[in-house]
Amino acid sequence: MILEWEPGSNVVGDFTITGFGEDIAVTDEVAESLKDFLGFEVGAIEMFQRKGLKPPTNPARVRKPRVWLPYQGQPLFELWVTKRVHLNFERSSVRQMEECRVCGGREHDIEGVEETMLDLNEERSGVMRAHTARTAGKGFYVDERDLQGAAIFRLIELDAMILCTDPVKRLIEERLFTNIAFLEYRETF
């Protein structure tokens, strides 16, 4: 993985989304904590920044904070999900809507999963969070035997999401790792 830090924050969380939900960088502490779980590998991260960008001599005058190179934070690793399984469409509340004639990609309608939306509310000058809980009996279902022991995985049909089992979720929450949120997508396997 190759990262270029964008301006806007100089804080690096334990989990950093580096693309549109597909690539994740994690701190060495996260990588070490997850090492006993199956379904992923960790890889090296290389960082660069455009020529001519230099850390400010007076940090108090910086308009947009950013992470500067050479990187001074905790070592980071790519979290590369290796386990991919098929969604059990018969048990899931997911319907295939359309298929792209050019690329073969499919759009899906997902019913009953937990959702969180962030909206700018101008009257209150802040961000409002709208939350919808998962509907009992609805969500994603996979056949446990397809996981083959993996605790972190992706769905072949909805590859942008990274899913995990409850033990992974509990460990991450117990260790108070930052910059990650969980949404409930299923009840049981």
Q: Is 89 left (phi over 0), alpha (psi -120 to 50) or beta?
A: alpha
Classify residue 163 as exposed, middle or buried by CB count within 10 Å of its CB (0-12, 13-18, 19+): buried
Q: What is the pLDDT of residues 163-175, one digit of tens each?
A: 899 999 999 999 9
Arithmetic mean of pLDDT over the chain: 81
Least confident among 55-69, 73-87, 121-135: 121-135
- pTM for this one? 0.77
Res. 189 pLDDT band, cuts 50 70 90: very low
Residue 130: per-residue pLDDT: 66
Contact residues for 78 (Cβ-Cβ < 8 A; gap 6+): 1, 23, 24, 25, 26, 42, 43, 44, 45
- The tokens describing 71, both together, are 């990187």
- pLDDT for res 79: 94
Q: Got the DSSP string for 122-180?
A: TTTTEEEEEEEPPPTT-S----HHHHTTBSEEEESTTTT--EE-HHHHHHHHHTT-SS-
Dihedral pair phi/psi, residue 184, rounded to 5°: -85, 120
CA-nearest of 34, 10, 24, 19 to 181 is 24
Distances (CA, A) of 66 to 8, 12, 45: 6, 10, 18
Q: How confident is the model at residue 104 (pLDDT cuts 50, 70, 90)?
A: low
The string of pLDDT tens digits covering residues 18-77 is: 876 568 999 999 999 999 999 999 999 999 999 988 888 887 788 888 898 999 999 999
pLDDT at position 126 = 55
pLDDT of residue 159: 77
**One-letter-per-residue 3-state SS of 2-47:** EECCCCCCCCCCCEEECCCCCCEEEEHHHHHHCCCCECEEEECCEE
